[in-house]
Amino acid sequence: MIFESLLAKRQTAPATPGQSGGAMSLFKPPVAGVRVDEQEAMTYGPLWACVRVISETMASLPWGVHRKKGNVREAVTDHHIYRLLHRRPNPETIPFRFKETLVAHALTWGNGYAEIERNRVGEPIALWIITPDRVTPDRDARGNIIYKVTNDQEEDSEIPARDMFHLPCLAFDGLKGYSVVNQAKQAISLGIATEQFGAAFFGNGAHLGGVITKEPGSGDLSQPAIKNLLSSFNKKHRGAANSNKVHYLDAGLKYDPIGIPPEDAQFLETRRFQTLDMCRWFRVPPHKLAELDRATHNNIESQNIEFVTDVVVPWATRLEQEADFKLFDEDESELFTKLNVNALLRGDTAARQSFYTAMLDRGVFDIDEVRAREDMNPLPQNQGQLRLVQANMMSVERAIQEGGTEANARASDRRGTSALWEDPANRMVRKEINALSRMADKGIEAGKLADFYESHQKHLVEAFSSIATFDGVQDLEARARDYVLDSCKGINEQQYTLDLLADWRLSRSETLRQFMGDPNV
């Protein structure tokens, strides 16, 4: 295996970052006529809102370090990576701003970059944001990924992949993410053009453009006269302050409006559609952009949860896996980072109450775990670290007094099974008393008594098998045999069988439960 690993060689050539498909689209201008780049795109309201919603949501999530030991995960707060992600990415940036900027870059440019500064022993000590327009992913002569960074007043830098925190969007080559602004430039250009049309329309006093013509035979105007006429006309008519005013045209001049009225061009419908179109590009629910035409109290909550599962979780996974890959050493495989999205998945108060009740009743959560999910401190003296079941709930104080252990929780469960023991006990005692009463009328014969109790012993095992299994009671056959021997002993010692049976009607059921192992008696 060692020789095979030394001789192993990749069969395909590594992809060059940023050169996989779609390159010709970079040179095709938008049909709407408004050229779009990352800076211009951020002036478009729906796009700004989508980027802001996602980046601020991601920035608000706590980013911690955890250690996995078997099936147990524990938070780690004394590791230098925890301090880097949770407290201070670098001496100039707080964690919220770092995550917000990195994700915003990835949403617009398609890639977010941060240089990983390391100390002399190779430990990450700072993360420095780099604007994506300065970074070009490439490969060196050996085929290793490098990042070429342009510097304003210094020589350009070449940063190895291990020292660059790279957050890409969707990428066909897996190396450099596609720019959403570039992929959606037709939609963004149309949206900006629609806004510019509306601004120009209202800037012209809510009047469309037109032409000024002269009546035939009214003479011609010189070029300077035409220029002065148009300048004077525009000055008097443009602007909201000049709307609805009456103006005079000299004899022979006529104004004819041209263009399509906004209502015919479906101006408002187009603007609304463009907002929804941006939501589709970024997978953001429309109500996050204040588009509430189809929103209801019922579907907004489900859309909020879909936003978490469809948008937040994928971005959180990108951040977590890049951090695990670049920030930890190979001998720290038990460590991993985690962005906590649980708070975003909270429903309304009634939904959370129903969920917590179900989890507590089934013993899935203890009280402290529920309090932690609601950002509350645990109960003092470990009083909340007790799992209960619904059969017979008790207060925390009583649970602590009675032991506060798993055994006590099991005892609480058993108290709820008392009725399940009583039913077969009453039935079997009633059957036994009726059989003995019939024998007593004719005189009890030893052979018939032995035959009855041999059969009755088997029926006892069958009657109590289910509840005994639930409560962990074993050796039912031996317990049934001991009960039968006790019954035979009582019959032999009692001179009058009917008197014995009268006593049994009052107390024999509890005696049977004791013999069969009922933990409630």
| Final residue in a domain of this structure, among 341, 356, 371 | 341
pLDDT (0 to 100) of residue 386: 78
Whether residue 136 sits in one domain with residue 87 = yes
Mean pLDDT lowest among 53-67, 136-150, 398-412:
398-412
Residue partners of 14: CB distance under 8 A and separation at least 6: 139, 143
Give residue-wise pLDDT tens across range 441-480: 777 788 888 888 899 999 998 888 888 887 888 888 999 9
Residue partners of 215: CB distance under 8 A and separation at least 6: 252, 253, 254
Give residue-wise pLDDT tens across range 472-504: 888 889 999 999 999 888 888 776 677 788 788
The answer, as to whether pTM is greater than 0.75, is no
| Final residue in a domain of this structure, among 359, 393, 427 | 393
Whether residue 220 sits in one domain with residue 246 = yes
Whether residue 306 sits in one domain with residue 271 = yes
Residue count of the chain, please give it. 521
pLDDT (0 to 100) of residue 374: 74
Give residue-wise pLDDT tens across range 345-370: 665 566 677 778 888 877 888 888 88
Whether residue 267 sits in one domain with residue 256 = no
Total structural domains within the chain: 3
Whether residue 125 sits in one domain with residue 60 = yes
Whether residue 388 sits in one domain with residue 316 = no
Q: What percent of the chain has pLDDT over 70?
A: 73
| Final residue in a domain of this structure, among 341, 376, 406 | 341
Question: Of 430 and 14, which is predicted with more confidence?
Answer: 430
* Average pLDDT over the chain, rounded to an integer: 79
432 falls within a domain? no
Whether residue 85 sits in one domain with residue 185 = yes
Whether residue 93 sits in one domain with residue 34 = yes
Whether residue 274 sits in one domain with residue 178 = yes
User: Is pLDDT of 80 > 90?
Assistant: yes
Whether residue 228 sits in one domain with residue 154 = no
Mean pLDDT lowest among 117-126, 214-223, 252-261, 265-274:
252-261
Angle CA(138)–CA(170)–CA(282) in degrees, nearest 5? 135
Report the SS3 class of residue 386: coil
8-state DSSP, 27: G
Question: From CA 175, how far away is CA 20, in angstroms rounded?
Answer: 10
Nearest residue to 179 via CA among 354, 387, 26: 26
pLDDT (0 to 100) of residue 436: 86
Give the mean model confidence (pLDDT) for residues 184-201: 76
428 falls within a domain? no
Whether residue 231 sits in one domain with residue 89 = no
- Domain carrying residue 381: 348-393
96 falls within a domain? yes
516 falls within a domain? no
User: Is pLDDT of 23 > 80?
Assistant: no
Whether residue 156 sits in one domain with residue 91 = yes
